[in-house]
Amino acid sequence: MEYTIKKIANLSGVSARTLRFYDEIDLLKPARVNSSGYRIYGQQEVNRLQQILFYRELDMKLEEIKEILDNPDFNVEQALMEHQEKLLAKRREIDRLLASVQQTMHYYKGEIDMTDQEKFTAFKEQKIAENEAKYGEEIREKYGKETVERSNQKYLNLTEEQMQEMTETETQLFAKIEMYLQQPEIESDLAKEICELHKKWLSFTWPAYSAEAHKGLGMMYVADERFTAYYDDKHAGAAQALNDVIQYHAK
C-alpha cells in the first residue's frame, strides 16, 4: 500500500506541511518521488511515522527522535514496550491528579476534611514520577534504592512552608550562579555561598548530607546531558560552574 502526502496526512492526522518539514530534516523521507514530483510513502514510512508520533506524545524533541530511529540497533518491539511503560506512568500521574481534584471538590462542598498536606500530595507525587522517569535508574545505581526511597518520602512529607522555602532557595541559587558566571572566582565568598545554597536545597529531600555524595552529584550534572540541560537552560555554563563550586567548597 502506498500513499501520497495528502493521503498519509489524512490517515495520520499529521498535516502535509509537517510531513514536508519532516522530509526536510531527514526525520521521515518518502519512499520515492514519482514522475509528477509527488512524495510517495510506503509501509515502512507509515510505521516510522507511527513511532515518531509515539515519541512526540512523550514530549521528545525531533532531533532526539531521529537519533533513536536512525540507530541501527533500534528495535520496534522494545520501543513499543517502552512506550507502553511510559504511557502507563503518564496515566498514573493523571489518575493521581484526578483523584486530588475530586477530593478537593468534596472538601469545598464541606463533605470531607482535607489537611494542607493532602492538598499538595498529588503534585509532589507527580514530580517524583517525572524524576523517576528521567533519572530513576541513574540515581538508584549511584545512591541505592533505599536512599532514593527515603528521599522521595521526605519530599512527600514537606509542609507547604517547606515547599515554598525550597523553591525560594533554588531561585536564590540560580540568581547567585548568574552573578558568578559574570566573574567566576572559585575562592570567592560568592562561590562558597552558592555551594551552601545548593546544600540547603538538597537538605529538603536528602535523608542525610555527605560532601562525597554532594561532589558525586555535581559530577553527574556535567556528565549527564539531561542534568546539564536543567541548569544550562537557565544560564549557559551553569552546570559546569556549579560543579566547580561544589568540588571546591563541599565539606
> Three-state SS for 3?
strand
Same domain assignment for residues 8 and 54: yes
> What was the pLDDT predicted at 122?
64
> What was the pLDDT predicted at 107?
66
* pLDDT tens by residue, the chain, 251 residues: 899 999 999 999 999 999 999 999 999 999 999 999 999 999 999 999 999 999 898 878 899 899 999 999 988 888 888 888 888 877 877 777 677 677 778 767 888 786 666 666 666 776 777 777 666 677 777 777 788 788 888 888 888 788 889 999 999 999 999 999 999 999 999 999 999 999 999 999 999 999 999 999 999 999 988 889 989 998 999 999 999 999 999 99
Same domain assignment for residues 242 and 213: yes
- Give the CATH number, domain containing residue 27: 1.10.1660.10
Residue 239 within a domain: yes
**Cβ contacts of 190 within 8 Å, gap of 6 or more:** 176, 179, 180
**Cβ contacts of 67 within 8 Å, gap of 6 or more:** none
Same domain assignment for residues 183 and 100: no
Find, among 221, 166, 228, the residue nearest to 197 by Cα.
166
Same domain assignment for residues 175 and 243: yes
Residue 142 within a domain: no
Phi-psi group of 185: left, alpha or beta (phi > 0 → left; psi -120 to 50 → alpha; rest → beta) = beta
Residue 216 within a domain: yes
Same domain assignment for residues 63 and 80: no
- Asked whether 194 and 245 are in contact (CB, 8 A), the reply is yes
- The structure's pTM equals 0.53
Residue 32 within a domain: yes
Residue-range definition of the domain harbouring residue 119: 76-136
Same domain assignment for residues 207 and 187: yes
60 vs 65: CA distance, rounded Å: 7
Same domain assignment for residues 83 and 115: yes
- Asked whether 103 and 114 are in contact (CB, 8 A), the reply is yes
Residue 148 within a domain: no
Residue 149 within a domain: no
- Asked whether 125 and 96 are in contact (CB, 8 A), the reply is yes
> What was the pLDDT predicted at 51?
93
Residue 152 within a domain: no
- Block residue for cell numbers 562525597: 212
Counted residue by residue, the chain has a size of 251
- Block residue for cell numbers 560552574: 241
> What was the pLDDT predicted at 111?
82
> What was the pLDDT predicted at 148?
78
Same domain assignment for residues 100 and 173: no
- Give the CATH number, domain containing residue 207: 1.10.490
Phi-psi group of 237: left, alpha or beta (phi > 0 → left; psi -120 to 50 → alpha; rest → beta) = left
Cell of 142: 549511584
Q: What is the DSSP letter of 40?
A: E
**Cβ contacts of 70 within 8 Å, gap of 6 or more:** none
Residue 227 within a domain: yes
**Cβ contacts of 124 within 8 Å, gap of 6 or more:** 155, 156, 158
> What was the pLDDT predicted at 216?
93
Same domain assignment for residues 174 and 128: no
158 vs 155: CA distance, rounded Å: 5
Distance of CA 3 to CAs 10, 30, 123, 147, Å?
A: 10, 9, 44, 53
Same domain assignment for residues 24 and 64: yes
Same domain assignment for residues 32 and 91: no
What is the total count of domains within the chain?
3
* Cα dihedral across residues 175, 181, 142, 81: positive or negative: positive
- Block residue for cell numbers 494542607: 116
Same domain assignment for residues 163 and 87: no
